[in-house]
Amino acid sequence: MTKNNLKIGVISLGCDKNTVDTEYMLAILQGKGATIVNDENDADIIIINTCAFIDDAKKESINEIFRAAQLKKTGLLQKLIITGCLPQRYFEEIKSEIPEIDGFIGTANYSKIWDVIKSEKPLYIPNDKDDRENLKERYLTTQNYAYLKIADGCYNKCTYCAIPSIKGKYRSVESDNLIYQAQKIADEGIREIILVAQNTADYGIDFGTGRMLIPLLDKLSKIDFKRIRLLYLYPESVDKKLIKYISENPKICKYMDIPMQHINDRILKLMGRRTTGDKIRKLIDDIRNINENIAIRSTFITGFPQESEKEFTELKNFLKEYKLDYCGFFKYSKEDGTVAAELEGQISSITKDRRLKELLSIQSSLMPELKKKFIGKTYDVVYEGIDYSKQKFLGRTEFMAPDIDGKVIFTADTLMRIGDYYKVKINGFVKNDLKGEVVL
């Protein structure tokens, strides 16, 4: 079998930024004439692009590696290649403990994936000259939307996070590269583009010209997208100018994902966050005063070292008072090499589990009030699939990011086409989902 007839299966784990990196590799493989297969049992080579952000992500990555390693024992799988955060962070351990692996690439050299594949002997590239910002071609793996990674790495050095040690300092992608990628995405017929980075609000700050997110959005707005969505806007980087821009630009989703992580000042300081509880509260007030229709999503960590019951109660009370539209909650994960891992006052697993359940319960109890405001109103909904058990269509409004914010479950008397937008009148809700019917 010649190299350009190889059948390759690629498994992408972790965040949406990893999805983009996987798509870069897929484009390289396709360009070399390889066939991308969905069934791993049909693959000559399996590539697993891993995540190592928290314990659960590491466990998922390891489990996938062991599962794929079993296929090598059948003799059908020629090579197993591991890429991304896990080999970048734990290269020596994985290399010695899982000998079935035939190649590694860390987070900086995805362009060398074909070199690893064609190498006659195991090739390990855990870190080398960084080439991420030069990658442009993509093999899209999502439908109806696509991610655009506008920067990589991080300079924040939050005490609980290993990202800076894995991916390095914050580096913005040149706007010409991003516009090229965005135009190609639009040419595929995709009408929603989602900007991602560790902190999208700081795009361009490393260029020495200050934050350049708004100029980038101006350029992206000239491309034929219906929606431009922003994820991961750090609170200290969001000002009234950006809020007003989001409010006034008709192509920008009225949706802001702002990772807050906590509300207590002492815990925020221990976390290395560059904000305070009062500044977070003011930011939310500013958003709602400028445009009350902007949906706010955030993430919070509970069980951080030394978090007292009083400080945890402050977080619970904040959630009840400010009623954010969407929240993701995480138990603190003790990560090797981070400052927080060495702090005294580590919280027990039992306490972390209990606190997580309490936060989830609070947010769930707010759903009826949060969803009620949509009843009787009509929204543009992108049709994305069918729930066959309910015989209903599934889609999203601009207030819903893919996979994390629920769905619109709706009916229609007209012929539907996936990826198209329809006017849907909302007439109810169930848990985190809205219900409605097509009216036009």
pLDDT for position 368: 93
Instruction: Indicate whether 248 and 361 sit together in one domain.
Output: yes
Q: Residue 166: give the domain boundaries.
A: 135-368
pTM, full prediction: 0.93
Q: What stretches of 277-374 show up as alpha helix (H) in DSSP?
A: 277-290, 309-322, 349-372
Instruction: Indicate whether 81 and 169 sit together in one domain.
Output: no
pLDDT averaged per 10 residues in sequence order, the chain, 440 residues: 72 90 93 90 91 81 86 84 86 81 86 88 68 82 95 91 86 95 96 97 93 97 97 97 98 98 98 97 98 97 98 98 97 92 96 98 96 96 90 95 94 90 96 92
pLDDT for position 188: 94
Is 373 within the bounds of a domain?
no
Q: How many CA atoms lie within 13 A of 173 on its CB side?
A: 25
Of the residues 368, 395, 411, the one at which a domain ends: 368
Of the residues 109, 132, 155, the one at which a domain ends: 132
Instruction: Indicate whether 343 and 265 sit together in one domain.
Output: yes
| C-beta of residue 398 within 8 angstroms of C-beta of residue 254 | yes
pLDDT for position 391: 85
Structure tokens at 155: 């300079």
**List of long-range contacts for 113-118, beta carbons under 8 Å, 24+ apart:** 113/25, 113/28, 113/29, 113/47, 113/81, 113/83, 114/28, 114/29, 114/32, 116/81, 117/3, 117/6, 117/8, 117/29, 117/34, 117/45, 117/79, 117/81, 118/3
Residue 390 CA: distances (Å) to CA of 286, 411, 440: 40, 10, 22
The C-alpha atoms of residue 121 and residue 192 are separated, in whole angstroms, by 42
Collapse the DSSP code of 150 into the 3-class scheme (helix H, G, I; strand E, B; otherwise coil) and give the result. Answer: coil
Structure tokens at 268: 């925020």
Residues forming beta bridges with residue 430, ordered by sequence position: 433
